[in-house]
Amino acid sequence: MTLRLVIFDVDGTLVDSQGDILGAMSAAYASEGMERPSREAILSIVGLSLPQAFSVLAPDLGAVQRTRLVEGYKDAYAGLRMTGGPEASPLYPGIPALLDRLSARDDVLLGIATGKSRRGLTALLESQGLTQLFVTRQCADGNPSKPHPAMLYTAIEEAGVEAEHAMMIGDTSYDMEMARAAGIARIGVTWGYHPREALVDAQHVVDDAAALERAIGNILGEMS
């Protein structure tokens, strides 16, 4: 039996976390006496690691102040995750059933590659009851930011599969660029934070969980 690895992005792919993201951004900027960037600007950088995200959002700030923004965001996000519960960052429609069906397969392993911090990822997975589903969980801590492919290389190594038996699913151009650089199959989803036209590196683009499941099945079949 050939094991295949299905790797998911988190924010904008598995969960709609924009409420927590925007709230944490508001708190971080308020702590520095600054006006928060627009919703569109913030959602455009979802997927990047926090240091890189703030470099994009606030390029004119010094490194010390950007570091304070990063830490302020992390603290605010952790507080929101503790008080908000699973409804604060809900799973997208159809995703729970899809994850259940994939995890029940003997030939499929599940993984995560996200720009979230380890602390933020752990809190989110615990709140949604998803902790046990993923054999590899790659995040911004200890990895270069997307679209660098390092976290995919690590995920593939940890899962013990070959690159030709792995795929990446995400909602941003960063996810698709990362997967292309790693040489693995890639599916873009349109319900997240980057528009369809940004997913130019995707091999498949899908609009709902049912279409995603079909695309995953087609790729898994091609890997057999």
- What's the total number of domains in the chain? 2
Residues 42 and 79 in one domain: yes
The CA distances from residue 77 to 89, 102, 108, 182, 183, in Å, are 11, 29, 32, 30, 33
| Contact call for residues 148 and 47 (beta carbons, < 8 A) | no
What percent of the chain lies above the pLDDT cut of 70?
98
Residues 111 and 78 in one domain: no
- pLDDT(30) > 70: yes
Residues 140 and 195 in one domain: yes
Residues 196 and 184 in one domain: yes
Burial class (CB in 10 A: 0-12, 13-18, 19+), 60: exposed
Residues 200 and 145 in one domain: yes
- pLDDT(98) > 90: yes
The CA distances from residue 132 to 93, 110, 114, 152, in Å, are 20, 10, 17, 19
Residues 151 and 96 in one domain: yes
CATH of the domain at 78: 1.10.150
Residues 113 and 27 in one domain: no
| Contact call for residues 126 and 22 (beta carbons, < 8 A) | no
- For the entire predicted model, the pTM comes to 0.92
203's tokens? 């091999």
- pLDDT(18) > 70: yes
Predicted confidence at residue 89, as pLDDT, reads 84
Q: Once rounded to an integer, what is the mean pLDDT over residues 6-23? A: 95
Cα(177)–Cα(148) distance, integer angstroms: 8
CATH of the domain at 185: 3.40.50.1000
User: Tens of pLDDT along 176-190?
Assistant: 999 999 999 999 999
Establish whether 20 is a catalytic residue. Answer: no
Q: Where are the beta strands (DSSP E) in 24-149?
A: 108-113, 136-138
The CA distances from residue 82 to 30, 39, 85, 171, 181, in Å, are 20, 23, 7, 25, 36
Residues 28 and 106 in one domain: no
Residues 99 and 125 in one domain: yes
Predicted confidence at residue 15, as pLDDT, reads 96
Cα(137)–Cα(117) distance, integer angstroms: 11
Q: Could you tell me which residues are beta bridge partners of residue 138?
A: 113
Expressed as residue numbers, the domain containing 70 is 18-86
- pLDDT(86) > 70: no
Residues 115 and 137 in one domain: yes
Last residue of a domain, one of 59, 86, 113: 86
Establish whether 100 is a catalytic residue. Answer: no
Residues 110 and 30 in one domain: no
1's tokens? 């039996």
| Contact call for residues 116 and 157 (beta carbons, < 8 A) | no
Residues 29 and 118 in one domain: no
Q: Which of 11, 20, 171, 175 is catalytic?
A: 11
Last residue of a domain, one of 68, 86, 104: 86
Q: Once rounded to an integer, what is the mean pLDDT over residues 3-12? A: 97
Last residue of a domain, one of 26, 60, 86: 86
Cα(19)–Cα(25) distance, integer angstroms: 10
| Contact call for residues 224 and 109 (beta carbons, < 8 A) | no
- pLDDT(87) > 70: no
Q: How confident is the model at residue 85 (pLDDT cuts 50, 70, 90)?
A: low
The CA distances from residue 201 to 174, 220, 224, in Å, are 9, 19, 23
Q: Which of 9, 20, 171, 175 is catalytic?
A: 9
Looking from the CA of 29 toward its CB, the CA atoms found within 13 Å total 15
User: Tens of pLDDT along 38-82?
Assistant: 999 999 999 999 999 999 999 999 999 999 999 999 999 888 877
